[in-house]
Amino acid sequence: MKAENAFVEFETEEADSFPEIFELNIVSGGCHIYGYLLAPDKRIEGPYPTVIMSHGFPGYTTNNDLELALMRTGCVVIHLNHRGAWGSDGEYLFTNLKDDLIAIAKWAHNPAIADQYGIDTDNIFLVGHSMGGQTVLNAAKDLKFIKGVAALAPYDIGAAFRYRMEKDLFLMIETEGQCLKMNSASEVYENALINQQTLSILNRYEELSKHNVLLVEASLDAVAPPDKMIKPLADKLKSLDTNLTYRSIKSSHSFIGQRMTLTRIVGEWIESVISDTYH
């Protein structure tokens, strides 16, 4: 893997060398989860580090640019659409997000699947933005084989209730969530209310401390304010002397206008974690 290739495209007349995209249909909780897998240029020697992406709520802010850049560095990249989102089966509930991601990660870690797509099962990373940041942090606690987890401006449902931001959360569900499959905004909100402690990214931080962790804050974030939603976890992890990397980007929640900076941070972090493994 070479992070410096994030913005480099290789020319060739040999079609067999081109990167590829494969449609995915994976079952989680009895529901079909749809997505795709990006495979890097075949002139890059495998097996490949693999990044599994988790989208935010509801996923309007895509991370396709980051996914394609990581593919160019030499990573396999897996994009999933959570239950009830963007064509996937089932109903959207916050408690389903972690289970969906765990199902995808176990699928990628399966030796037969890994052999088919050239996945390096020793170097599987979880990367998520916003609600996806909460999801990857929670899923990593239950996946011992994960090499690292990166949360980009993560939203913390537990913090939303601790800091009396529940009205903002309900409004977000009611308005932005109209594209999701759900019985009602009230049901999804109730799911957050009842499970706020389990969903909180501060829950079981000791287990999270066993992983390589990248936390990226958007310093101007009004949706997931860093002092309420990301810094408390960073402080907990720092107290345990863990493999934590913390970066701050002067940007709003979506990192709009600073996407290349975000890409460099994520790519260089993955490369550094892999390099430490091989040295």
Give the tens place of pLDDT for each residue, 140-166: 999 999 999 999 999 999 999 999 999
How confident is the prediction for the chain on average, in pLDDT?
94
- Strands 48-54 and 31-39, sheet pairing: unpaired
Tell which CATH architecture fits domain 3-278.
Answer: 3-Layer(aba) Sandwich (3.40)
Q: Which residue has the tokens 């999701």?
A: 180
Q: What residue ranges do the domains of the chain occupy?
A: 3-278
What does the pLDDT look like over 20-38, one tens digit per residue?
999 999 999 999 999 999 9
Q: Which range among 8-17, 32-41, 173-182 shows the weakest confidence by mean pLDDT?
A: 8-17
Separation CA 263–CA 145 (nearest Å) = 24
Q: Which residue has the tokens 């990192």?
A: 255
- pLDDT on residue 10: 81
CB 86, CB 59: distance < 8 Å: yes
Separation CA 279–CA 261 (nearest Å) = 27
- pLDDT range class, residue 174, cuts 50, 70, 90: very high
- pLDDT on residue 279: 42
Q: Which long-range contacts (CB under 8 A, 24 or more apart) does 244-247 make?
A: 244/213, 244/214, 244/215, 245/212, 245/213, 245/214, 245/215, 245/269, 246/214, 246/215, 246/216, 246/217, 247/214, 247/215, 247/216, 247/217
Question: Is the pLDDT confidence value at 277 over 80?
Answer: no
**Closest to 51 in 3D by CA, of 254, 242, 270:** 270
* Residues listed for the chain: 279
- pLDDT on residue 100: 96
Question: Is the pLDDT confidence value at 181 over 70?
Answer: yes
CB 120, CB 47: distance < 8 Å: yes
Residue 148: left (phi > 0), alpha (psi -120 to 50), or beta?
beta
What does the pLDDT look like over 101-117, one tens digit per residue?
999 999 999 999 999 99
What does the pLDDT look like over 214-273, one tens digit per residue?
999 999 999 999 999 999 999 999 998 789 999 999 999 999 999 999 999 999 999 999
